[in-house]
A and B are shown apart, each in its own frame.
Chain A
Amino acid sequence: AQSVTQPDIHITVSEGASLELRCNYSYGATPYLFWYVQSPGQGLQLLLKYFSGDTLVQGIKGFEAEFKRSQSSFNLRKPSVHWSDAAEYFCAVGAASGTYKYIFGTGTRLKVLA
């Protein structure tokens, strides 16, 4: 069955520290992979995406993610976290054809300490 797992429900980091949010997926074919961010009371904003090519992808707000096929992972990273990064982060896997439906992870809520 297709699934996306975000093992960490909550993560707390200090401002200026590095960040890694984990995402593991189970998908039959080569997946399209996405990270979204949601600030409180807001909609979801696309941070970055992977669909082919270079396995290290750059996104907005200084985020990057690495696709590791052997580990079925697509972890999100940022070298230095800012207080404004406090939000909830969602990983999603999408179909490359047909209905283009997504499967979302359950999210990781990031808290940033000043």
Chain B
Amino acid sequence: DAGITQSPRHKVTETGTPVTLRCHQTENHRYMYWYRQDPGHGLRLIHYSYGVKDTDKGEVSDGYSVSRSKTEDFLLTLESATSSQTSVYFCAIRGSGEAYEQYFGPGTRLTVT
């Protein structure tokens, strides 16, 4: 257990509304990642962070922004949600093991109607 929590765990929102998902970790890990999981696509990286205020884009970053003002929190924002952003969102941290393996939070299921 890498001490990762995500909130909310489930959310239904309407098209065009802003949504913020929160990832919280308790072990002071430097690297954090946001993924989305969709059937037939596996997990795809949205954004990642390599420190406070240091973030960069992943492969599917359009329509998403992130912020990291504290080591323990990594926020993912959908500025104006669309139906194509209906997905399950996972946060991960990079562990300190020899293979730099990632550990995942429990996920947030987001439905945009």
Contacts and interface: CB of A to CB of B under 8 A. Distances in A.
Name the residue in B40, B41, B102 with the highest tally of chain A Cβ atoms < 10 Å from its Cβ: B102
Contact of B42 (A99, A100, A105): A105
A99 B104 contact: no
B90 A44 contact: yes
A96 B100 contact: yes
A32 B103 CA distance: 15
Interface stretch (B44-52, B61-69, B75-83): B44-52
A42 B33 CA distance: 18
Interface residues of A, number: 23
A100 B105 contact: no
Contact of A99 (B43, B48, B103, B107): B48
B90 A100 contact: no
B90 A50 contact: no
6 contacts: A32-B100, A34-B102, A42-B106, A43-B106, A94-B100, A102-B45
Interface of A: 32, 34, 36, 42-46, 49-52, 90, 94, 96, 99-102, 104-107
Interface of B: 31, 33, 35, 40-45, 48, 50, 56, 58, 90, 94, 97-107
